[in-house]
């Protein structure tokens, strides 16, 4: 390679690095910034959270100090007592926006993984022709949260559906007796971040919302109902106090 070609190659490489760095910096502009915390496992150590919109699509973004998605729960071999790891965006959105009853609780978007059960029965995430063995792959949910002391003092749970009741539910509800939806929007992991693009009919409601970022472990109750799914270990809250202070597109 001639000196001129070498110089051009180095310039192109440098330009590529610069473009990558600028794209990475742009991805972390705005939203809610959080200081890294040595006490939090790096794959769940939130440093940036935001929600942006373009057209009728909202992008849920969360960055961590390590490799997002790198850590998943160990399999226990049974549903009762099994663990769920999650990246969560609690919002001020009304639960009716995605097909639940109005004002049913805190509507949160979540990306989860759990090897002991599959709660996306309409989707074959690993492409093997089996719809019920994909729980260990990261996938998305809408969940409705409320505090329940049965999960611990002031701890949150995914809201249970009382036996015999027939609440309004999304079309992609997976059949579990809790307020959960499995819409099939696929998360993307890249450069220490997780993102999900979610289409909305009423994007204006999303743009008026505020939100927070949370990483946490949930556990299926031993009784497998009431409560079925409790938040048992909060790894980090982006705001520090779950005040949902961040505005969409800011």
* pLDDT reported for residue 27: 54
Lookup: tokens for 61: 């973004």
153 and 173 part of one domain: yes
Provide, for the chain, the percentages of residues in helix, strand and coil under a 3-state DSSP scheme, each rounded to the nearest 5: 15, 35, 50
Per the CB < 8 A criterion, the answer to whether 34 and 28 are in contact is no
* pLDDT reported for residue 126: 77
* pLDDT reported for residue 22: 33
* pLDDT reported for residue 170: 98
10 and 116 part of one domain: no
14 and 38 part of one domain: no
Using the structure block, give the residue that is written with the tokens 């998360």. 187
Lookup: tokens for 29: 């502009």
Q: pTM of this prediction?
A: 0.87
15 and 116 part of one domain: no
Residue-averaged pLDDT of the chain: 88
114 and 7 part of one domain: no
142 and 26 part of one domain: no
Residue 236: name the closest of 218, 212, 214, 210 by CA.
214
Residue 43: name the closest of 21, 72, 75, 23 by CA.
72
Per the CB < 8 A criterion, the answer to whether 29 and 53 are in contact is no
DSSP state of 218: E
8 and 116 part of one domain: no
DSSP-derived pairing of the beta strands 83-90 and 57-64: unpaired
Question: At 224, is the secondary structure helix, strand, or coil?
Answer: coil
Domain count across the chain: 2
Residues of the chain with pLDDT under 70: 1-28
Q: Residue 231 phi/psi, 5° resolution?
A: -80, 115
12 and 50 part of one domain: no
d(CA 69, CA 125): 16
d(CA 7, CA 143): 54
119 and 21 part of one domain: no
d(CA 48, CA 175): 33
Range of the structural domain that residue 3 is part of = 1-30
Per the CB < 8 A criterion, the answer to whether 236 and 195 are in contact is no
98 and 194 part of one domain: yes
56 and 72 part of one domain: yes
Q: Is the dihedral of CA 162, 176, 188, 86 positive or negative?
A: positive
12 and 119 part of one domain: no
């Amino acid at each position: 390679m001639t000196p001129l070609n070498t110089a051009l190659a180095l310039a192109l490489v440098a330009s590529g690095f610069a473009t990558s760095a600028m794209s990475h910096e742009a991805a972390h502009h705005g939203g809610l910034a959080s200081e890294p915390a040595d006490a939090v496992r790096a794959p769940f150590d939130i440093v940036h959270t935001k929600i942006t919109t373009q057209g009728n699509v909202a992008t849920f973004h969360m960055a961590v100090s390590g490799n997002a998605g790198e850590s998943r729960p160990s399999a226990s071999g049974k549903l009762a007592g099994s663990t769920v790891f999650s990246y969560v965006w609690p919002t001020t959105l009304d639960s009716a926006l995605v097909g639940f009853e109005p004002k049913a609780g805190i509507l949160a978007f979540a990306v989860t993984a759990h090897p002991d059960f599959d709660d996306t029965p309409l989707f074959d995430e690993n492409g093997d022709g089996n719809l019920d063995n994909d729980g260990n792959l990261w996938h998305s949910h809408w969940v409705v949260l409320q505090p329940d002391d049965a999960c611990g003092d002031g701890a949150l749970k995914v809201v249970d559906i009382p036996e015999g009741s027939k609440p309004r539910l999304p079309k992609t509800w997976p059949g579990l007796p809790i307020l959960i939806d499995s819409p099939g929007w696929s998360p993307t992991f890249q450069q220490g971040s997780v993102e999900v693009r979610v289409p909305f009919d009423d994007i204006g409601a999303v743009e008026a919302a505020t939100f927070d970022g949370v990483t946490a472990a949930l556990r299926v109750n031993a009784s497998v109902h009431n409560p079925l799914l409790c938040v048992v270990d909060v790894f980090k809250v982006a705001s520090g106090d779950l005040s949902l202070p961040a505005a969409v597109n800011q």
